[in-house]
Amino acid sequence: MLIKSTEKLKVLIVVSEATIIETSKKKLLNLIQKLGETFKNNNNLIEGLCLVVTQHKNLKLVKMRNGLLKILKEQDGKEGFSSSQRNILEFLSSDRSQIAFFDSPHEEGPIYDKDKSVILNCIKKITYIKNLEPSISIGSYAKSFIKNLIEKFDKDVENFISLKFDSAFLNYINELIDNHDNTVKKLRERLNGLIEELKKISDAEDLQTFENNLDQILSIVKLLNKNDLECELSKKISQLKFIKLVKPETLNRNTKSWYHVITKLIKIIKFISSEPKPIINNNKLIFKGIIIGTEDIAKKISSSISEINMYSLNSIFIDEDINAPGVILTLISPQLRVVGKQREINLKGKSGSHHKEKANDGIEEKANDGIEEKANDGIEEKLTMELKKSSINKRCMV
């Protein structure tokens, strides 16, 4: 991970004199082989390579290079001698190589200033290697560990989305509706915005899309303002990056195990935010839905309507005045929510026809008890309701 995230570096290899002068040269060849396997583009590696040898004797640079050249000639063409070994030995045996020596220490502590100066001088002479891509080899035990890690990762992601994310998202929708203090139109716009965010999550199972999916879910979790879930998912994304680095060929994602949660959430929001479809039956106008606003019915009222019934499973928003003279209005919902400082529902009745002011005998009929009573067979019926903003959280019928 360190090499992967580093833009440029220099490589310093420290070996003992015994490794160099060993008769079989097995240790040296294994070292060079592992060095070549560590990086994919080992042709670039040699430009930034410095070899440091701890010595008991006074080794000479020319003799060291000649010895490395001899090893190269002996091994070249043999079975198992790799191109990376050839490239590295060819470079180290040339006069372009940077090789330093210092006396083998007898106890712990800093090396002598003279030896340190020689090593630092060699390091300065080599160039930085850019974009050096690591090639990671994995042993059998590590492969088994990574396999178990991937299985656990898949299960953790499935549980996170199916249980924690699902629950947190539904709670967020409830809170969004409960705390909304604007029109139904604005609420539906916010809910539809959530649908668009969920639609960015794909059911494709390729690795890059899967990684993008987790990033998108993380952005939604941040919107939910759930710090614990954000921290948990961020760790999972870091795990994915590690697995992707060491064993990308094993990452066949099983998106189907949790994608049904995303489609379910989209369906729920669509159901909640859908506008109520008006039903007209015998001059009755009926609205049924999850969230309804008086602005939904205002444009549907006509002179032929004598009764309006609104049934909501969550909230009715009084977000527009209603002017419906003579109409019977019924509002049934767990919550009535007034949007704005004041709203008016005017159900003023239609006036009946008046009698003549005088009786048939020409004598004006008037009550003498101090209360004037006008003869009127259609007493003017007026019902004007002014709703001031308040918290109405119980089942209401108007």
**Which pLDDT belongs to residue 20?**
79
Range of the domain at 185: 141-273
Q: Judge if 204 and 248 occupy the same domain.
A: yes
- Highest average pLDDT, of 59-73, 165-179, 302-316, 377-391, comes from 165-179
Q: Is residue 379 part of a domain?
A: no
0.85 surpassed by pTM: no
Q: What is the pLDDT of residues 291-312, one digit of tens each?
A: 999 998 887 887 788 999 999 9
| Coil, strand or helix at 311 | strand
Give percent helix, percent strand, percent coil of the chain, each to the nearest 5.
45, 20, 35
CA-to-CA separations, 308 to 48, 304, 342, in angstroms, rounded: 83, 11, 21
Q: Does residue 125 have a pLDDT over 70?
A: yes
Q: Does residue 72 have a pLDDT over 70?
A: yes
Least reliable range by pLDDT among 66-75, 155-164, 247-256: 247-256
Q: Judge if 169 and 214 occupy the same domain.
A: yes
Q: Judge if 184 and 295 occupy the same domain.
A: no
**Which pLDDT belongs to residue 143?**
76
Query: CA 315 to CA 46: how far, in whole Å?
Result: 72
Mean pLDDT of 392-397: 39
Q: Domain tally for the chain? A: 3
Q: Is residue 370 part of a domain?
A: no
Q: What is the pLDDT of residues 52-68, one digit of tens each?
A: 988 767 778 888 888 88
From 98, 125, 152, the end of a domain falls on 125
Q: Judge if 267 and 149 occupy the same domain.
A: yes
Beta-bridge partner residues of 31: none
Q: Is residue 134 part of a domain?
A: no
Q: Is residue 160 part of a domain?
A: yes
For residues 307 and 244, the model is more confident at: 307
Asked whether the beta carbons of 180 and 164 are under 8 A apart, the reply is no
Q: Judge if 51 and 97 occupy the same domain.
A: yes
Q: Is residue 133 part of a domain?
A: no
**Which pLDDT belongs to residue 151?**
87
Q: Judge if 246 and 147 occupy the same domain.
A: yes
Q: Judge if 71 and 182 occupy the same domain.
A: no
Q: Judge if 201 and 281 occupy the same domain.
A: no
Q: Judge if 146 and 225 occupy the same domain.
A: yes
For residues 193 and 366, the model is more confident at: 193
